[in-house]
Amino acid sequence: MRSRIFVKLLITLLLSFSSIVMFILIIINSSFQQGFANYLQQKEIRLANDMTEFLVQHYQQQKSWKLMQHNHKLWEEALESANISIPPGPGPRRAHDNPPPKHLPQQEESSRGALPPHRPLAMRISLYDAEKKLFFGPPDQSVTGHWIEINTQKQLIGWLYLSPTELIGEQLANSFVEQQQQNFIVIAAAVMLLSLVVAAIWAQLLLRPVNRVIYAVHKLSAGQYDIRVPVRGNDELTGLALNFNRMAEALQQNERLRRQWLTDISHELRTPLAVISGEVEALLDGIRQPTKENITSLQEEIIALTHLIEDLHQLAMADNDALDLHFTECDLYSIIEHQVQMFKPRMKMKNLQLKLKTEPKEGCKISADSRRISQLMSNLLENSLRYTDPGGSVEVQLYNDTKQLTIVVSDTKPGVSNTDQEKIFDRLYCADKSRSRSAGGSGLGLAICKAIVTAHGGIIFAENLNGGGLRITAQLPLIPV
């Protein structure tokens, strides 16, 4: 794929460079051709103007052009006076001087030496009187020809007509034009070669960032998640490198969390299994008797293990957007009040005060999964019960601001560090020793809370209180029933 991209980019750049350069060369060549033709024409006009001086003197002497009409030698003298070269062979033809028979074709006329393909100036200049009646020279006229007035004392006495000049009209001009055309060909070939080299270098430079990303992608696919692409410049390729680095960083973070997750899960599963295994071995060895108390202890460990597995199952469903939700009309205040009443005896046993403050009590009916909302409140209160020091208090508040319902659960110290406030919603995360899982629980309660709130389209966050303790806020959108 790399070579195909390089070849495509190389061809694109080469065609672009070549097209631009060839267009410039064509314009320059056309401009040169036109400029050279104009130069030759101006040169011939200047020679013709010099010739008019001789013709004026002749007219002043003869008072007409009649002598010029039959004087071939005099016409040649007029040409020589202006340094106009006379070609060898038959001289300039006069008007109606031995015209070729009309029945002869053009090829026969050319073979008889009438008009060569590239005629010099002497064979393209004609003399006309004031009424533009031809007296001497070729009779052909063209729209692109040039007329020169012959004046004496501000009186028009005649015209000199110059037939259009060809760009290649003489041997020197022909040689010069051919040389210039050869130079253009050489320059064009050199420019094409230079364009190829420049395009190859430029394509390689443009593909260098892409090649770095391709190399990093191969490394990333092989499991090297710490690979990064150097970021240089400020263009689209720089954006590609930045996005790749973000992706690699996210994958590295996910891999680290995955490994930590496996470590924590193995630890959480190993602890109850080890207790159960030890209890069973003690019963089998006769060290402990199969009394009701011992069987109850085994049952409690099995229930704890079952709860852990159920929590993991719920989180797995939340990750796959498959958390089982049944939205119905439910009164959020009633759900919270019920959970508070359920937890009051346990709070009292730990010497904790549990308070419920809600204003107003009406207008708290929303469309939600009542079972999941009950689980949310149970997990929040369970978290405060486990990690709040005896003698403290837990306060539950419910607010309705017409757009969302806000549930706030606040407890007294100990709190968590500022760096742990967002991480406490991670699975199996231990904030610090004061709120470690030594107090019990699987460490998945707040993670499940976050999954439930997110599934309802809300947000949940934690913050420390000034006097110590933690405040957890869950905001649920107020969706009309």
> Quick one: what percent of the chain has pLDDT higher than 90?
5
In a domain, 306, yes or no: yes
Averaging pLDDT over each range in 87-96, 263-272, 358-367, 465-474, which range is the top one?
A: 465-474
CATH code of the domain containing 348? 3.30.565.10
Instruction: Check pLDDT > 50 for residue 475.
Output: yes
Instruction: Check pLDDT > 90 for residue 88.
Output: no
Q: How far apart are CA 59 and CA 163, in angstroms?
A: 23
Beta bridge pairs of residue 330: 366
Return the percent helix, strand and coil in the chain, to nearest 5: 55, 15, 30
Instruction: Check pLDDT > 60 for residue 346.
Output: yes
The answer on 50 and 22 residing in a single domain is yes
> Quick one: what percent of the chain has pLDDT higher than 70?
82
The answer on 155 and 34 residing in a single domain is yes
332 vs 402: which has the higher pLDDT: 332
Give the number of other CB atoms < 10 A from CB of residue 387: 22
Q: Positive or negative CA dihedral for 128, 133, 137, 143?
A: positive
The answer on 296 and 259 residing in a single domain is yes
Q: What is the pLDDT of residue 91?
A: 47
Q: How far apart are CA 210 and CA 216, in angstroms?
A: 10
The answer on 164 and 26 residing in a single domain is yes
Q: How far apart are CA 298 and CA 282, in angstroms?
A: 12
Supply angle C-alpha 321, 327, 331, rounded to 5: 130
In the sheet with 125-129, reading across from the earlier edge strand, the strands are 134-136, 125-129, 155-162, 146-152
The answer on 368 and 275 residing in a single domain is no
**pLDDT, average across residues 166-174:** 55
Averaging pLDDT over each range in 1-5, 258-262, 466-470, which range is the top one?
A: 466-470
Instruction: Check pLDDT > 80 for residue 265.
Output: no
Contacts 24+ apart (CB under 8 A), 7-14: 9/203, 9/206, 9/207, 10/199, 10/200, 10/203, 13/195, 13/198, 13/199, 13/202, 13/203, 14/195, 14/196, 14/199
Q: What is the pLDDT of residue 115?
A: 39
Q: How confident is the model at residue 353 (pLDDT cuts 50, 70, 90)?
A: very high
The set of residues, in sequence order, having a beta carbon less than 8 Å from that of 28 and lying 6+ positions away, is: 184
**pLDDT, average across residues 459-480:** 85
Give the number of other CB atoms < 10 A from CB of residue 244: 19
In a domain, 467, yes or no: yes
Amino acid at 30: S
Q: How confident is the model at residue 70 (pLDDT cuts 50, 70, 90)?
A: low
The answer on 83 and 142 residing in a single domain is yes
Mean pLDDT, all residues of the chain: 78
Instruction: Check pLDDT > 90 for residue 473.
Output: yes
What would the pLDDT profile of 223-246 be if each residue is shown by its tens digit? 888 888 888 877 777 888 889 899
Instruction: Check pLDDT > 50 for residue 102.
Output: no
* SS3 state at 170: coil
Q: How confident is the model at residue 351 (pLDDT cuts 50, 70, 90)?
A: very high
What would the pLDDT profile of 25-67 be if each residue is shown by its tens digit? 788 877 877 787 788 788 888 888 888 888 888 888 888 888 7
The answer on 336 and 430 residing in a single domain is yes
In a domain, 335, yes or no: yes
In a domain, 231, yes or no: no
Q: What is the pLDDT of residue 310?
A: 78
The answer on 375 and 296 residing in a single domain is no
CATH code of the domain containing 309? 1.10.287.130
Which structural domain, as residue segments, surrounds residue 369?
328-477
The answer on 124 and 98 residing in a single domain is yes
In a domain, 438, yes or no: yes
Residues 148/162, Cβ–Cβ less than 8 Å:
yes
In a domain, 415, yes or no: yes
203 vs 292: which has the higher pLDDT: 292
Q: What is the pLDDT of residue 99?
A: 43
Token pair 């069987």 is found at: 295
Last residue of a domain, one of 266, 291, 319: 319
Q: How far apart are CA 407 and CA 19, in angstroms?
A: 70
Q: How confident is the model at residue 98 (pLDDT cuts 50, 70, 90)?
A: very low
The answer on 335 and 299 residing in a single domain is no
Work out how many domains the chain is built from and give that number: 3
Amino acid at 365: K
Q: What is the pLDDT of residue 267?
A: 67
Helices (H), 135-235: 171-221
Last residue of a domain, one of 285, 319, 353: 319
The answer on 431 and 357 residing in a single domain is yes
Give the number of other CB atoms < 10 A from CB of residue 195: 20
The secondary structure of 227-288 as a DSSP string is --PPP-SSSHHHHHHHHHHHHHHHHHHHHHHHHHHHHHHHHHHHHHHHHHHHHHHHHHHTSS
In a domain, 192, yes or no: no
Count H helices, E strands: the chain?
Answer: 10, 11
The answer on 168 and 19 residing in a single domain is yes
Q: What is the pLDDT of residue 107?
A: 37
Instruction: Check pLDDT > 50 for residue 436.
Output: no
Residues 288/294, Cβ–Cβ less than 8 Å:
yes
In the DSSP assignment, the letter for residue 61 is: H
Measured in whole angstroms, the distance separating CA 139 from the mean position of its chain's CA atoms is 68
240: tokens are 């590609």
In a domain, 458, yes or no: yes
